[in-house]
Amino acid sequence: MINLTKLWDKLNTIAFKAIFIALNKAQVEELARAAQQRQAEGRALSPIDGELVAIKGNIALQGLATTAGSLAYATGVEPDNAPAVQRVIDAGAIPIGPANMTEFAFSGLGLNPHYGNSPNALDAESVPGGSSSGCASAISSGICDLAIGSDTSGSTRVPAAFQGICGYRATMGRYPMEGVVPLGASLDVLGPMARTVHGIRKLDAVMSAQAKHVGKSLRAQPFQLVVPDMEGLGISDEIMRMFDVCIETLFDAGVDVVRKDLPAILRTHQLFAEYGTLVSVEAREQVCRFLDLSDAQIDPQIKSRLEGVLPMTAKQVAYLRHQRAILQAEIEAQLQGGFLLMPTVPELPPRVVEVEKNIESFQKANATALRLTMITAFLNMPSLTLPVDPSKPSHSISVCGVAAQDEHVLAAGEEVEHLLR
């Protein structure tokens, strides 16, 4: 049974106040009463009936403004919930309110000078990860077990890795995107976040309207995990040691783990270095549709990123999109039905004091945090992030498949989680 008095008291403390931008207490209490009545009568609507869910602040919640973590952008009171939110409400879940986030979702570090920084529950001095920072903090802090974030280049997976929880980036188009403030339309997707892979599966089934999978075991068939050559991706010694131990554990448990050259991974990384990224161009175009960057009250770090985006010609954008299609086909052929296995992030999370006021340090740390996740986002690979050790920031791996393999990725990921625990 949910103790709402305890919940509100906790969220009102200094340590947790920055996790949510706003709270819709009246609706939460109404939905909680209804869920408790259903459970008492033995007629739960779904496996997530009665579960508290954090909703990222760029997703429409009826009766509240959608801010996308900004003071310069606000929709006014939303007349309706985003369809993905409505699906979880119809399944009996209880949205707490809009969770804090990086302004406009345009950073992987998770800081926000307007609404405060969500805490990293594993290390108070470290950044929480972003852009779905409040979602990760809500789960890691024990406020709820489920959250709906969004992921353009890693925004569910980076905070999940930094805070010892699970995050998922689905195949694009798996969830309805109406009612979500866009960042990079060619890359945006909603992302379930949870304490466990089973929680991800439950939320995914409801959000994707594939309820036949909810609550059922998706025990994976024998599968292969493919470890690519990661030389040149700048992964720290600590993370590589963690990853190597993880591989050894899985191999000893009988999993088919192979090391294999996957040229599409390094070619995507090199493409970003040479030509830039689609998300940067699309983000600037999106924000400039409703704001004048020179006048708007924007986080200086985010403003600097937006202003620093180099313009691309239509020909350059077309080239990146063409290369994306080629690389997506290549990674599918190279994996041959296996699943990519990589660390989620290349380094430990940076300290807040190191990046909060220093634009150069911020930009460098942000690029590092997103270095690996943005590759699989560009390749439209359903990607599940799960902790190897939930008590250690960045000790996280990602299991990734090719487009439309979502159920298989989640099944394989749940088996990996079981073997590592």
- The residues that are catalytic are 56, 131, 155
Q: Are 260 and 247 in contact (CB under 8 A)?
A: no
> How many CB atoms are located within 10 Å of the residue 86 CB?
16
CA dihedral sign of residues 109, 110, 114, 119:
negative
337: left (phi over 0), alpha (psi -120 to 50) or beta: left
CB 190 within 8 A of CB 207: yes
Beta bridge partners of 339: 225
In the sheet where 383-387 sits, what is the strand order? 94-99, 52-56, 146-151, 189-194, 166-169, 383-387, 396-400, 339-343, 224-227, 256-259
Nearest to 69 by CA among 130, 11, 112, 127: 112
- CA dihedral in degrees (44, 204, 10, 18; nearest 10)? -150
Contact indicator for 370, 158 with CB cutoff of 8 Å:
yes
DSSP 26-42: HHHHHHHHHHHHHHHTT
How many beta carbons lie within 10 A of that of residue 251, not counting itself? 13
Cα end-to-end distance, the chain, whole Å: 28
- The two tokens of residue 133 are 């920072």
Cα–Cα–Cα angle for 146, 126, 203, nearest 5°?
A: 10
Parallel/antiparallel/unpaired status of strands 189-194 and 166-169: antiparallel
Measured distance CA(421)–CA(404) in Å, rounded: 27
